[in-house]
Structure 1
Amino acid sequence: MGGTRAWPELLVLLGSAWLWVGSAQPTPPGPTRPAGPQLRFRLAGYPRKHNEGRVEVFYNDEWGTVCDDDFTLGNAHVLCRHLGFVAATGWAHSAKYGKGVGRIWLDNVNCAGNEKDIRDCKHRGWGNSDCSHEEDAGVVCKDERIPGFKDSNVIETEQSHVEEVRLRPVVSGGRRQQLPVTEGIVEVRYRDSWAQICDQGWDSHNSRVVCGMMGFPAEKKVNRNFYKLASKSQPKQKHREDVGPKKRLFTERQQLNYRLHSVSCTGTEVHLSMCSFEFYRGNSSAACGSGMPAVVSCVPGPLFSTGSAHKKKQRQQQQQQGQPRIRLKGGARVGEGRVEVLRSSEWGTVCDDRWNLQSASVVCRELGFGSAKEALTGARMGQGTGPIHLNEVQCRGTEKSLWNCPFRNITQEDCKHTEDAAVRCNVPYMGYENLIRLAGGRTEFEGRVEVKRGSKWGTVCSDGWTTKEAMVACRQLGLGYSLHAVTETWYWDASNVTEMVMSGVKCAGHEMSLSHCQHHGASLSCRNTGTRFAAGVICSETASDLLLHAPLVQETAYIEDRPLHMLYCAAEENCLASSARLANWPYGHRRLLRFSSQIHNRGRADFRPKAGRHSWVWHECHRHYHSMDIFTHYDILTPNGTKVAEGHKASFCLEDTECEEDVAKRYECANFGEQGITVGCWDLYRHDIDCQWIDITDVKPGNYILQVVINPNFEVAESDFTNNAMKCNCKYDGHRIWVHSCHIGDALSEEANKRFEQYPGQLNNQIS
């Protein structure tokens, strides 16, 4: 090649289609480069859109991939321009789009982003790599072509891309179709319209793939005779399109336009485009010999089943199966989260080595969702705790449970919690996001909450509006977690104020819609009406996740008899039992159970006090600021749950005491500094600090449960509140105390937790 390169040809893989595209214009003159092998580029792997995928490079007459080591957005910009797009919007690591084959041509690529050619970037040299295909890089390109990349530049081959699939229900009698749509004609997006698939050779494996894409774990037989009649050409009927721009329900009968035929899936694919199929050419309205479109009927998971009989049957099946041995934690949306499995009565995580879409899909279907949209690595849903039970899980995709898949047992050296595997599953479209909106906020992530009740939009009363209700609202909106539950919204734009239509909302926090929470119904009752007291939210894509290091509590617990003359400050801050007021101050003492607590932030956002610095309270006696009224509860409980002693701890100093390797401290309390706990850091309260205790002066000898709860009033948003409690068994003989079996509240199986709670009761008989 000379100073001006020839226009490079690009080979782009879209679904199972190859598109040859030519560069829009020659590259401006640049440094002279010696002649070398011709380069071509394509996008491959599981396609969600035509502008993203695994990057593959044709070099030296062989296709290969690019390693994700040191990959940057600058690299993605250069590669996207090679593919005919103006720029990149993101990139993906760890073979997000599936593992490639062949050589790994490029490693440690380092582009500034403005280079004309990938060969102008630094890298280790062609074919010089220490990576495996589990590290294949992908790109997400901006969906805008470089000027000149027009239809004339794209030569379509016999096959083309299958990007969007839907089920079109056929409803008789003008009845409104209920969500979710579990049965209908399979349609694929073709250019600007929808086309059908001929059912020639259609089988249950194909149906399983489509049901998985629609968010359902399994398929079932369908009444073909009904659809034979329905598939005959009839005039279109008027219909509503009010359930979302991309998921509209088309319930009319219409002229069929066949596009695909001879679809052949194995049943393990996560997208129809990964199956083999053939396309009809030209006018295909009468092309299907059988005259029948492919029809699918799906079985919804427990969360999405309709009808009491169906739900009762599924509950019976779950009871027969016993306690689930798999769960998702830390996800903002339904059907996503860190994968946790139960082994030897203890919950633990899965290492992401060789974690892929097939294994992720087995998890999703086992939990009642569809196939996996993404198999996430690198603790993308936060780090778990406890053991890492499984490594190198290799599912075929047909297994009923993750436990049926081959895997390696873990050793301490193999994995850390920074490698915890997670999933995002396909879930059925329910239309909940069309029943809620935000108004008046400065960004799309904040505002007054407005809900649709019947045909009417209105505000929600903020009486009792807490983080739990706000979490449900943000989930329903698809905006992640609730950063703040706002009870006064006067400072947001009120130009389009609506009246109140919902009050008394009380949520558990896991609901998919505010309408699923308790509320007053039509009998509205609100203490403070008007826009000023309408409920509002500030949502966030990420959240913190606090948990206590349980072993440290067990290791450091002891009893101290502390003289009253040394407890004036503690009494002032309400750190003693109420009977201390009746003591003969300054004579005598109080018996204190002391222990250290180490509070880690394992989430994806820093933990910050709810209140701003302007409202922190100065305590002169201990000379520190309180940034939260209550940060932790310390309780001694009897086996039946009765409190016999309690303590509480204001967050007088939330700071980064220590951090994991490569994590920098950000928060320090000294000199009215910022308070908080950085992701990957922990705040240590030593046993010898005032109020780091429970006053047990009035507790009689016996066996008890020590319970510590962090952020007990849910004042600050977290991705997971279920791990905020820690429990220990305690034996107190009136002189000494033994603390043992400390664990995070949801770390054990239900049976193990029951045994734990019964254990102190059984020991009571042994105490003299």
Structure 2
Amino acid sequence: MSAIHILHYSLIVGTCFVSHYAVAQNNTVGQAPWSVRLMGGIYESEGRVEVFYDNQWGSICDSLWSIEDANVVCRQLNYSGADLALVAGQYDEGQGVVLFSNMECNGMESNLSTCKYDLVDVTHCDHSRDAGAVCTSQGSLRLAGGSVPGEGRVEILGESGDWGTICDDGWDKTDAGVACRQLGYPDALEAIVNVGYPNTQPVFGSGSGPILLDGLHCESEKRHLRDCRVTKQWGIHDCTHGEDAGIKCDMGLTRLVDGDFDDEGRVEVYYGGKWGKICSTNWTIDDAHVACRELGFPLGARNTKIFEGGDGPFLLDDMKCQGVETHLADCESLGWANNQNCDANLNYGAGVVCNDPSAVVRLLSGSSSYEGVVQYQNRSELGLICDPDWSDKEADVTCRQLGYQYGRSEKPVSLGPLSGTIFYLDYHCNGTEEQIGDCVYTVKSNDVQCNPDHIAQVFCGPPIDFDLRMVGSDFTEQGRLEVFLKGEWGYVAAGYYSSIDRDTVCRHLGYAGAFYTYTTEFARSSRPILIDDISCGDNDMKITDCYILELSGPHSTQQERDEVSALCFPYAS
């Protein structure tokens, strides 16, 4: 298995069960070329892909169907290439047999017959999973002048083969939505018009080709801009390039559905022009962490959960995220639409409950990352909790919210005079809550300054992978750095360890940053090297955020004298 990547111009899905594929992958040596055709589309350049094989026309199951496969089909039909590879029977269902599945072209073949594929004899891949293609032709779109993918000046391919622009007269979000979906995005965020014309230039610059469309009026269900009504014929307009229309498309290819709150729900991914589910078999907290961070929850997931509903296909199965990936598409899986473990008719899918940033909890100023002062975010304001009755129950809930098995109310940090934001709260947890924000509490009077002994602190356990601690010093804010990984403690070798890396280490431990120069030597250990090298960015909060994190192997070249150490300074209180 390998990582999969969502390509905005490559749209693929399907739920064929490979356990029912009766014939192994083909041997392409001596294979006669196949004829192909597109059926069921509005235009001859789009439709359901059908192949003439064994004296009959049949369709292709969309399991693993890709833009590379669609490119081969379109070039066979004398187009320059494909705009989209579509899935899940988006054109009228075929009437013949489903001939092939798991088509794997590299995009350079001259005929589908030379690609890898599986023959289908008996399969649960019916015509609702027919693969489709949209070939590059008159009406195809591209974006120009944008600084990031998914935005730009809309350019449309004319009948003569020239790319032209669209006048922004009447251009609105409905028109932009059709354009974005035609380009492979779920929807539009914004329709861009030059409201200051003629005194300002278009946001994405002026085009140089012909102006091909003016007075466009789309309905949301349209597949293509050229399906929409226009007040003028192609090439007829009363505009200048100062009025070229632009769009910003929705780049969010993951969403939560059917949860009671915004931070929970069934995880759905957008691929092949369809929103679909993820099979819950082998769905783990590491997968959930990746999904939540992709959705904008920086602390990842509180837990996994199954959510009923959803009539889309299963698009992903057997996820194997490590928990540090940026997108679900970066994780290992069986591949797009290669669903082996969930019946297509199941009325539920993998879901998550994410850590809402409005209920952020982290631990400050301990000698390890699993102990310290509890910092809580209440309605976007960060502060400490003053609770004279803070007990093991509150500590246990707090630690489980952070991913640990248990917690105890202890005082690992010595506190001096207090300042800054203090929440005067008296919590009454029963110990079964999933996060501290679920506990019953009362707001106490802040007329009297909080006693430092009443500031909530915890000790969590047991350690989890990539927990850090500083040892060899009598002070919590300094020491030799050790990391917990795969059930043991070991040290981090310095390598090219920089001041930025020290800052990240200290932030991981709940401090504001690191002092860059110090000469203190700390006692050595006989523990193994677990991390050979680390290289972090300016804003990384944990070592797992760093873009280089090399785990040690049996042939590490690092020596004990290369052990990383740090001297941290706390957040201002």
Category of TM-score, reference length = shorter chain: 0.3 to 0.5
TM-score (norm 2): 0.37
TM-score (norm 1): 0.29
